[in-house]
Structure 1
């Protein structure tokens, strides 16, 4: 069986089952630094403390994907959440599904950001790796570190190859 999915525009309402949309639009904010900055606070809350882990910040450099893109696998991080925020104002795509032991493909969705949005995946949400629409795009990624302490190590990522043929269009 072959399935084709098309992205829908990312909104807080359409994404809430999978996590949170990170955006300054309609966010709580306050003026700080003697009026020279505006702080948009608590846009998402990281879930990374499992087994004494801590939140850590990375920068990913992504390569442009070609479409139609075969969605051949999904992965999940069972013990921590993950946040992706573009450093540019270029849109990117996110493909996600719910499910416990395996992804529930009836919940499979693709979302297109508007370029000013990031995404925060809840702990345990199945997702396809980062989908950049441009070459060498940089993303700030926040997730968990075990602080290089053996006792803090956990199963970080579960990958599952999909049996169904699924293709993502970029339209």
Structure 2
């Protein structure tokens, strides 16, 4: 279980409309397992930002990252898990979820750490379900970006889009 405090997001004026913006400075993934966030209480004023990205094809830049080649026999259809590959920023997508919605990131899905939205004095409590084997590079892999590399701008109608 963990608590995510709401963030005051910077604002930017675009075509006469003031929008909140969120700079994506880190994406992470869990190559061996899914990760599920379940808000503990529904609150109509509380929302959170879900940011996901697919993986690029494997390259020399990600050779050091351990990844599974397939699930062990006897598990869910013995499907292949995503392999190596850094985040594909061109495929990045953002969504706003309400606190009556849970989200599950599939194994190997690049995503932003949790971003609670709403008034600064609000927080969202989550149950988080994830397997961890305590080998840090197998449990969580991160890629850091400069603050102007990728920016999510929130639409006034509570929709998100990528810049």
8 Å Cα contact 1:64/1:133 also seen in 2: yes
1:133 aligns with 2:117: yes
8 Å Cα contact 1:91/1:116 also seen in 2: no
- Pick from 82, 88, 101 the counterpart of residue 104 of structure 1: 88
Query: Which structure has the higher relative contact order (CA within 8 Å, separation 6+)?
Result: 2
- Pick from 142, 145, 148 the counterpart of residue 162 of structure 1: 145
Shift, 1:153, TM fit: 7.7
1:46-65 to 2 correspondence within 5 Å? Answer: 59-65=1-7
- Give the gaps of 5 or more residues in structure 1: 1-58
1:82 aligns with 2:69: no
Q: What is the Cα-based RMSD across aligned positions, in Å?
A: 2.1
Taking the aligned partners of 1:110 and 1:118, their CA distance within structure 2 comes to 15
8 Å Cα contact 2:47/2:99 also seen in 1: yes
Q: TM-score, normalised by structure 2?
A: 0.60
Taking the aligned partners of 1:154 and 1:165, their CA distance within structure 2 comes to 24
Q: If each structure's strand is expressed as a fraction of its own residues, which one has the higher value?
A: 1
Taking the aligned partners of 1:87 and 1:159, their CA distance within structure 2 comes to 27
Shift, 1:154, TM fit: 6.6
> How many pairs were matched up?
109
Shift, 1:106, TM fit: 1.8
- Pick from 25, 29, 35 the counterpart of residue 72 of structure 1: 25
Taking the aligned partners of 1:107 and 1:162, their CA distance within structure 2 comes to 16
Secondary structure of 1:106's partner?
Answer: helix
8 Å Cα contact 1:103/1:126 also seen in 2: yes
8 Å Cα contact 2:132/2:139 also seen in 1: no
Q: TM-score, normalised by structure 1?
A: 0.57
- Give the gaps of 5 or more residues in structure 2: 10-20, 56-83, 156-163
CA, structure 1 residues 101+114, in 2 after alignment: closer, same or farther (shift >3 Å)?
same
- Pick from 126, 130, 140 the counterpart of residue 143 of structure 1: 130
1:119 match: 103
Taking the aligned partners of 1:169 and 1:88, their CA distance within structure 2 comes to 26
